[in-house]
Amino acid sequence: MAFIRQKFAFSHPIFGRSTKEKLSRPYTNSVYYLWWEFLRRNDDYMKCCKSGGKGKLKSLYMDFGDVFVVDFKTWWQTNDKGASLFAEEHLPEFAIITESSQVYQNEEIIYLRVPLSLPKRYLMREFQSVLDRNHQGRAGIRTNKHSTSKYPISGHIDMDALDKCLRVYDMKKQNPKMYLWEVAQKCKITKTKQYVLNDGSESPSAISDKKLILANTASRLLKKAEKIIAGTGIGEFPVLK
């Protein structure tokens, strides 16, 4: 019995008809979409694209192409771009092993001895127990330990944090004169109780404290965004150190 083999280490973008599954996992919630978005903020890569792929990032351009002239869906699907950059090596199908030549040496695969004389319900419980102990994957979480893709995702992925970094970066870029505390408040990156109120209900010291917290938060996210953007220029994502 075959199953759909894992093709990506993380949840891939979903396009098409609006089924319940696709509504719960829009393509903007994919880490690969965020990689594309951060790459589009890289000034060196933008210059490379404008020059037709010339310059120090020409090898990256050969793989990613011009990310500024098409939308994400078109970019991902044209010539199977997304799969060529991020797909993982296919693992063998779920099957009964009948000879030693079918044994696949890979630490992502385990082999079980199943005595069929035992009750099916018992065997199902045992199989579930084995999965629980050995399969740590959840939706949107990497399930393979070692990536085989051309451009593997590096490190821990926090989609919410990455999205905040991107929003803060864009807000500051579009409003260079805006105070950092205002950027944080506009982007809604902190708890509502930390927002500065303009209704006269707060003391000057309380307002000052809130502005400091907001500014520090925005500054931290802005620095992370800049590191991530720089990392896309060397084909790595997300670079946080």
pLDDT tier, 5 (very low <50, low <70, confident <90, very high otherwise):
very low
Secondary structure (H, E, C), 74-130: HHHHHHHHHHHHHCCCCCCCCCCCCCHHHCCCCCCCCCCCCCCCCCHHHHHHHHHHH
The Cα 215–Cα 202 span in angstroms is 18
- Answer whether residue 1 shows pLDDT above 50: no
**pLDDT attached to residue 3:** 36
**pLDDT attached to residue 140:** 42
- Answer whether residue 62 shows pLDDT above 80: yes
Number of neighbouring beta carbons within 10 Å of residue 137: 13
Is-cis flag, bond preceding 238, omega within 30?
yes
> 54 vs 12, which has greater pLDDT?
54
> 217 vs 199, which has greater pLDDT?
217
Q: Which of 233, 222, 219 is nearest to 166 (CA)?
A: 222
Tell the residue number behind the tokens 């307002």, with chain if given.
207
pLDDT (tens digit per residue) in 105-114? 766 677 788 8
Mean pLDDT of 205-219: 93
**pLDDT attached to residue 139:** 43
Number of neighbouring beta carbons within 10 Å of residue 143: 15
pLDDT tier, 137 (very low <50, low <70, confident <90, very high otherwise):
low
**pLDDT attached to residue 136:** 63
pLDDT (tens digit per residue) in 79-104? 999 999 999 876 666 767 777 776 76
Say if residues 148 and 89 touch (Cβ distance below 8 Å).
yes
Tell the residue number behind the tokens 């035992």, with chain if given.
118
> 232 vs 200, which has greater pLDDT?
232
**pLDDT attached to residue 92:** 64
- Answer whether residue 18 shows pLDDT above 70: no
**pLDDT attached to residue 23:** 53
Say if residues 32 and 237 touch (Cβ distance below 8 Å).
no
Mean pLDDT of 202-213: 90
**pLDDT attached to residue 113:** 84
pLDDT tier, 141 (very low <50, low <70, confident <90, very high otherwise):
very low
pLDDT (tens digit per residue) in 6-15? 478 888 888 8
49: enclosing H helix or E strand: helix 43-50
Q: Which of 228, 212, 215 is nearest to 172 (CA)?
A: 215
- Answer whether residue 60 shows pLDDT above 60: yes
- Answer whether residue 146 shows pLDDT above 70: no
Q: What does the mean pLDDT of the chain come to? A: 85
